[in-house]
Amino acid sequence: MNLWVKLDNNYTKAMINYKATKRKGIKLDCKHFGECGSCGVHDKEYEKQVSNKVETLSTLLNKFHNKAIDSFSSPSSNYRSRAEFRIWHNGDECSYAMGNMAKKGVVLISECPKVSKPIEERMWRLIEIINASKVLSHRLFSVEFLATTTDECLIVMLYHKPLDEEWNSEVRELEATLNANIIGRSRKQKVTISKEFVTEKLTIDNNEYLYRYYEGGFTQPNPAVNIKMIEWAMNHARSTNSANGTDLLELYCGLGNFTIPLSKLFGKVLATEISKNSINAAKENCELNDVNNIEFIRLSSEEMTIALNKQREFERLKGVDLDSYDFSCVLVDPPRAGLDDGTIKLITNIENIIYISCNPHTLARDLETITLTHEVTSAAMFDQFPHTEHMESGVFLRKLSKGKLTI
């Protein structure tokens, strides 16, 4: 079978670069490395990739923080616990496919060492079974995997056809064969065979935490680096007045990834998130970890700002005494767009700020305003996505003394 689909001049150049790189002796862990567009950075050793990201972040933050930046690397393989693959049909045979480096075609893959072991050990057996079944293969167009470090795996199979009882029957057997939870999706249809979640167990700061991850919900893709991110945030939270019983405000809390471990360091925690499903998962995760000092509220950061400024009352805050909180620290983990002006104004009233960012450019933009009242005392780069340009970053800020304010 021809593995290269829609080959063009740009793609030929990518192949030439790949072969030249291989001759230089740089270790490539995947036969598709330099061809598959999923790993966009293929011409540098991993250590060099990390140093380049640190240099990029240092340049962006130099105006606010000209000291060394902490760097947290990823495992070299089997680091990704979330993965999505297109299904490529060539006659009666199905293959996993990813976009090629030229972004004008696909590569049919026969290995993917970046995915975690629980995914790697199931995905190849799954494609064999799919190819042996017309019921499972017909009009299947994508497969998504979500796994844990404890060998639980959730598989979502997406179709361009209705899913009937014959499909259900085969997938029930498939769940037993793969020891995985399987969900089927098609237009206006979702079929859950057993469970629609997996339960992760992470050791953070020498304590074990349980997280229930639901299909379709946001989860950090790299468990090892995620642990380092949480521990970095906890180390800085300890330097606040949390030991004196003060409280934490968290915006964009998701399913409680940071919230639950950080709650041990504070008297109370008020955490907000706009997604109803994430809030429900966060509350379940509180119960799993026997945590009872967190109030999860379904509000956007803008709505939380309005509520704390007493500009409007929200039914979702009924029974919550906002005046009872004494916030010594705020943690924000916004989407790529960064923070809005109202949220920036809110958090700059709080002594200590932990800002986790998936976009260092909007982080630098927001720091233009935040550093009028706060100073960056620490910064970090977290390599959640090896072999790509993407980076996670974090900064810790303390309020300036009145003599240093630059407003």
pLDDT digits (tens, 9 = 90+) for 168-214: 999 999 999 999 999 999 999 999 999 999 999 999 999 999 999 99
Instruction: Name the active-site residue from 200, 250, 284, 392.
Output: 392
Structure-block tokens of residue 354: 């932990």
Of the two residues 42 and 171, the one the predictor is more confident about is 171
* Domains along the chain with CATH numbers: 61-73+222-399 (3.40.50.150)
Name 148's Cβ contacts closer than 8 Å, sequence gap at least 6.
81, 118, 198, 199, 200, 201, 213, 223
**Does the annotation mark 84 as catalytic?**
no
Is there a contact between 32 and 3 (Cβ–Cβ < 8 Å)? no
pLDDT of residue 21: 40
The pLDDT-based confidence of 25 (bands split at 50, 70, 90) is very low
Measured CA to CA, the distance from residue 278 to residue 276 in angstroms comes to 5
> What's the average model confidence in pLDDT over 248-268?
97
The pLDDT-based confidence of 404 (bands split at 50, 70, 90) is low
Is there a contact between 78 and 113 (Cβ–Cβ < 8 Å)? yes
pTM, full prediction: 0.90
> What's the average model confidence in pLDDT over 78-107?
94
pLDDT of residue 115: 96
Of the two residues 344 and 45, the one the predictor is more confident about is 344
Number of H helices, E strands in the chain: 11, 17
Residue of 398, 328, 335, 380 lying closest to 362 (CA atoms): 335
Is there a contact between 372 and 406 (Cβ–Cβ < 8 Å)? yes
**Does the annotation mark 392 as catalytic?**
yes
> What's the average model confidence in pLDDT over 119-145?
98
pLDDT of residue 405: 56
pLDDT of residue 251: 96
Measured CA to CA, the distance from residue 46 to residue 251 in angstroms comes to 33
> How far, in Å, are 101, 207, 254, 272, 319 from residue 324 at the CA level?
54, 29, 23, 17, 12
3-state secondary structure of 275: coil
Q: Show the CA angle centred on residue 222, arms to residues 55 and 274, nearest 5°.
A: 95
The pLDDT-based confidence of 403 (bands split at 50, 70, 90) is low
> How far, in Å, are 39, 365, 401 from residue 397 at the CA level?
33, 15, 12
Instruction: Name the active-site residue from 166, 302, 358, 368.
Output: 358
